[in-house]
A and B are shown apart, each in its own frame.
Chain A
Amino acid sequence: MTNQNSKDILIVGVGGQGTLLASRILGNLAISQGHDVKLSEVHGMAQRGGSVVTHVRYGSKVFAPTVDAGSADIIIAFEKLEALRWIGKLKPNGKMFVNTQEIAPMPVVTGAVAYPSDIEGTIANEVPGTVFVDALSMAKQAGNAKAVNTVLIGVLAKHMDIDKQAFLDAIKATVPERFLDINIIAFEKGYNS
């Protein structure tokens, strides 16, 4: 259901890519802005390299923890094929941020089917204005391939009307101390991309 009172964000990717951390950063960000928040996460079976989706909803009062079809304001995709898979969740005027990384699912690995060609073109056609970034390269430049999540948070921050410092504070509140430096660099790379 499209809900005027809440902001609905979907974070999609492949199990193991770190989507959970990204949703928790956004959860802490929303709390710091005085909102009611609900996050829905994926634990268990699907984490083993499967398709994963975490939901972030915030606003004055949030009931359901999940984002329905046709109602996401924003989709952040950690992987191209997953971006396309979850496109049905987006509102008509919703926005997408897509990491251009490709991770072959098992049916592609075994050669049973091909990885779809020109996913970027298909998405750009369906959702004009989609932002595509090579977050993996930026994360590697920042010092750790696992920092894709904070790169993407940086990209998102640039497009949202919430203070940059609030994002940085939310990262500090969420990321373990020993990984903080790399994640801040990664965030800046995304923000300045």
Chain B
Amino acid sequence: MTKKLMLGNAAFARGAWEAGATVAAAYPGTPSTEITENVATYDEILAQWAPNEKVALEVAIGASFGGARALCAMKHVGLNVAADPLFTAAYTGVNGGLVIVVADDPGMNSSQNEQDSRFYARSAHVPMLEPSDSHEAKEFVKAAFELSEKYDTPVFVRSNTRLSHSQGVVELMERADVALKPYVKDIPKYVMMPGMARKRHVIVEQRMNDIKEFANSTELNKVEMNDTAIGVITAGVTYNDVKEALPNASVLKLGMIYPLPAKTIADFAAKVDKLYIVEELEPFFEDAIKAMGIDIIGKEIFTLQGEYSANMIAKGILGKQIDSRDAGVLPMRPPVMCPGCPHRAVYHVLKKLKIMATGDIGCYTLGALPPHEGIDMCVCMGASISMATGLEKARGKDFARKLVAVIGDSTFFHSGITGLVDMVYNGATSTVMILDNSTTGMTGHQDHPSTGKNLKGDVAAVIDIETLVRGLGVKNVRTVDPFDMKALEVILKEETAREEVSVIITQRPCALLPQVPVLPALHINDTCTSCGMCMKLGCPAIERHENGMWINETLCNGCGLCVKVCKFDSIKKAGE
């Protein structure tokens, strides 16, 4: 047997491969992205990026109906987008197994909220498993495919940042030989209209009862009896923290986290003196177990916010305080737009023109931070455009003369198009800026519908953003290189002044893409007056020192944006 150190996300992918899956679809989102990137490395699986999570899940549902084992992975907020097909796929059930991996982000390492996806399992009546390390990540995906086909239901596997992005030892196994199931037309099962859905709902409830029975007997749930003074019910990565904090405690480790194994829980509770529930983050187990009439301690000592740790659990349960050094108050180091980032030029011009922007999600959200403070609001993917429409409704057309919506290219495809359709249809007049950097930047350079490549790296059809936007009925469409800041300024003035919807596409590839040349670092000569103009760009490579400005040569990639803003011609190329 081969053992390998594997990223949790690579292990999820390996699990799908070993389970014999042949289709996978996803939209990227930290911390889930690498699952599908790894799936794409297996020749036997047709893996694709979809423009958003709803489309991805629908592709996977279709593949399942078509008899294939299909995987769909997403981050927690992606599940909000995919919720519509999810709830009804729970009614139709599956043909080939359908597994949805959803990765939560307690602590919001890379997310805009801390939502707990377990509630989707309960409200959609879809079983959910939760592994605790890389090896289980692989095995639980396989178990999920088995369950999916056995009980005719989609099955969730829950992950989180720590599991998805930690490496652990995995035992590799062979791929199962799973034949494509026959496709049989079955209107009462697959066509969800009221008369048929009512009958399917009865089946859903029956199925949940069957799975509740299964939960009490499955080895996915593990009882580890030790000292019975303290018992803990926990799951996932948190189980590991419990084991570090309380090596002698008795533990019920839940592998199937919905539906809960009522009998297993009651039996375990009867054997221990004091029972604690340790879970990230909502009191999901706690509320259910309290409703069983069992006496437990949970959120009265544990937080609803941030990641749990062994120290925190030891403190909560044992009152044990761990001493550590105190670094004192230090300058923060927030993430920043990279040197050479095309977005920087956009925010520089917006600030100069005192234009307000609604924002969206991507690298360009970093424009909200100093020195630009260039976006006023950011809620979810696609919201920049629709919120601008709402602002205009609330405050009138004059307000829209100083208002733009800023959205990335991948985000525009994800959920910006419908917002723009709404602007055209309902006569909104502000300006949409599509920041086209030829990639999905924030999540680490995934291709999307206008990059000309697909997830497998093959040549794909290119959906031209300008043509698309014109097709939606936008008459005023301008494309500009954001590094031509003079032109961008003129275009922005013209388009925001217009009492009609306009779209400005700023086109320049992400500075980190391999096709973008890294030029030699620039330097500042002694004609510099320390006026600070270049500092307004917020480039991490330009620093103010006591004796003037200074360019950090290990960071500068020679993009030359600072040369354009310097009024004294003091910034030079190497050798100049």
Contact = CB atoms under 8 A, between A and B. Distances in A.
Interface of A: 1-3, 14-16, 24, 27-28, 31, 36-51, 55, 63-66, 68-71, 81-82, 84-90, 92, 103-116, 126-127, 136, 145
A27 to B, nearest CB: 5
Contacts of A112: 370
A28 B542 CA distance: 37
B5 A48 contact: no
B165 interface: yes
A158 B325 CA distance: 26
Contacts of B322: 1-2, 68-71
A2 B335 CA distance: 31
Contacts of A28: 5
Contacts, number: 190
Contacts of B338: 16, 48-49
A64 B241 contact: yes
The binding surface of chain B is classed by DSSP as: loop
Given A28-B5, A38-B133, A71-B322, A1 B169 contact: no
B484 interface: no
Interface string B530-551: 0000010011101110000000
Contacts of A47: 335, 444
Nearest to A86: B327
A40 B366 CA distance: 25
11 contacts: A3-B244, A44-B30, A66-B166, A81-B331, A106-B538, A107-B331, A108-B543, A109-B539, A109-B540, A109-B543, A110-B371
A104 B323 contact: no
B552 A15 contact: no
A50 B331 CA distance: 12
Interface stretch (B188-196, B296-304, B308-316, B407-415): B308-316
Task: Give the interface size bracket for B toward A.
Answer: 35 or more
A66 B309 contact: yes
Nearest to B7: A41
B43 interface: no
A108 B371 CA distance: 11
Contacts of A44: 30-31, 33, 109-110, 442-444
Contacts of A107: 331-332, 370
A69 B535 CA distance: 36
A55 to B, nearest CB: 8
B240 interface: yes
Contacts of A16: 338
A49 B110 CA distance: 14
A61 to B, nearest CB: 9
B240 A63 contact: yes
Contact of B335 (A38, A46, A109, A114): A46
Contacts of A87: 325, 327
Given A43-B34, A65-B168, A116-B330, A1 B244 contact: yes
Given A68-B322, A109-B539, 4 more contacts: A44-B31, A63-B244, A88-B324, A103-B540
